[in-house]
Amino acid sequence: MALNSLPCYYALGGLNLKQQFATSCPQQSDRLQWLAKGHLPSQYFNNEEFKKHRLDLLRGNWPTGCDMCQIVEEQKSGISMRQETPPDTRWTDYGTGATKFEGLKTIEIRFSNACNMACLHCSAAFSSGWMTKLKRYQPDEIDREHHLIQLTQDMHRKHIDEAMRIELDTKMALEVVDDLIENFPNLERVDFAGGEVLYQKPFLPTLDRLAEHPNAKNMFIMFHTNFNAPFDPVALSHRLDKFGSSEVKISIDCSPGMYQYFRGGDWDVLAKNIATFKSVRSKKTKISLICTTGVYQLMQFKDIIQGFVELECDFINISIIYTPEYLNPALMMLYYKDETEKEINSAIAYLTKFTSKDRSDCFIAYQGIKNIWEYIHNHRVEEKHWTAFKEYIKKTDVIWKQEFNDHFTNYQFDKNTNRILRNV
């Protein structure tokens, strides 16, 4: 293996079903297989594109769609997704790039973009709520000038005419699971992403069929959810108990005060659903609260952490919004470096109150905050992206029919002077 080899758990043993195509991981964007040409994993796991993808990394060459990990590693601004999980290299031929079917360890499945929310860091590709918001919206010169790719709907598209609607109905999803049952005996992890899976018809039938996999008793099931959609917590818990272990990853990203603004949901419904599910879930199922951290989040970061801690779940995971650049958390370092550092330190100080109370979620949150700190101090941002962020606020406030200043207490946006001001 080359000295600069870049072996990756996901590239060697992973599949990710995105909008009409498959690739290796959630961050990888190269279209390695169009599902319309074959949606069964056994049909494409070793096609020429997947083999080339693996060989590029094994030979130390970054594939085009791996740019998120590449930037983090080259800038040394944190831990990339590639570096998080050790790869299993036993099943891959380093000469051809082919991986034996026994080497498939993880798969992420998206059924559709059906979602009951329209979160400000999302897009029409992953949210039907976004599609509704933009149904009558026509991008203008401001959107194009500032590359507001969510509003122009260029995000996640190679070109503007590319149809990005996700089409994995219940029949196709069950066929995928049957293929996994028949051909991939060592599958150890299945992730479900959205849209909102609790809002989508294929999710529960797929979960039931997956329980028939020969490795189900050793399998880890994880799904992303906003926990604001109606569901039966008892039935969900019983389904998850059929697997080795499971984790419910609840995307929150907000304090109670900014939750409706940023995500469009109801914090009280969220808190009630979490409490109900906690009362019936087994010890095999953990609940993880997610803060995907961008420029909005760092403005109210201590309040976010406090809200998470008060929900009392198993894990608090802090991740980073890498793209689009106008939502990148490092933007706060352009004009509010001292204030941002103080805000993060306030969040850490709040967490330390719980270190003696056996709160592992607080320890995990602390580790995630350390990664945020390192990232924002090392990632390079540009003035044009701060300008684009302000234009994004103005545009989405109009489209979403809401007002930034009604939900953020630490900062206020003077739209007349186009300045975001610290609220002292």
Residue 40 is predicted with a pLDDT of 97
Residue 2 is predicted with a pLDDT of 56
Residue 358 and residue 226 share a domain = yes
Residue 25 is predicted with a pLDDT of 94
DSSP string over 101-118? GGG--EEEEE-----S--
Residue 182 and residue 74 share a domain = no
Residue-averaged pLDDT of the chain: 93
The answer to whether residue 54 scores a pLDDT higher than 60 is yes
Q: CA 193, CA 345: separation in Å to the nearest integer? A: 32
Residues constituting the chain: 424
Q: Is residue 188 part of a domain?
A: yes
Q: Is residue 104 part of a domain?
A: no
At CA 303, angle to CA 297 and CA 305, rounded to 5? Answer: 80
Residue 130 is predicted with a pLDDT of 94
Residue 174 and residue 73 share a domain = no
Q: Which CATH number belongs to the domain containing residue 178 in this structure?
A: 3.80.30
Q: Which of 75, 99, 123 is the last residue of a domain?
A: 99
The answer to whether residue 252 scores a pLDDT higher than 80 is yes
Q: What is the pLDDT of residues 275-324, one digit of tens each?
A: 999 999 999 999 999 999 999 999 999 999 999 999 999 999 999 999 99
Token pair recorded at residue 234: 């008892």
Task: Decide: helix, strand or coil at residue 72.
Answer: helix
Residue 280 and residue 201 share a domain = yes
Mention every residue, 6+ apart, whose C-beta is less than 8 A from residue 187: 104, 105, 106, 107, 180, 213, 215, 219
Q: Is residue 131 part of a domain?
A: no
Q: How many structural domains comprise the chain? A: 2
Q: Is residue 13 part of a domain?
A: yes
Q: CA 247, CA 236: separation in Å to the nearest integer? A: 12
Tell me which residue range forms the domain holding 57.
9-99
Residue 13 is predicted with a pLDDT of 97
Handedness of CA 107, 111, 116, 117 (dihedral sign): positive
Residue 196 and residue 77 share a domain = no
Residue 83 and residue 198 share a domain = no
Residue 53 and residue 185 share a domain = no
Residue 361 is predicted with a pLDDT of 84
Q: Is residue 413 part of a domain?
A: yes
HSE-up of residue 114 (Cα within 13 Å, Cβ side) = 13
Q: What is the pLDDT of residues 394-416, one digit of tens each?
A: 999 999 999 999 999 999 999 99
Q: Is 294 left (phi over 0), alpha (psi -120 to 50) or beta?
A: beta
Q: Is residue 111 part of a domain?
A: no
Residue 155 is predicted with a pLDDT of 75
Residue 213 and residue 72 share a domain = no
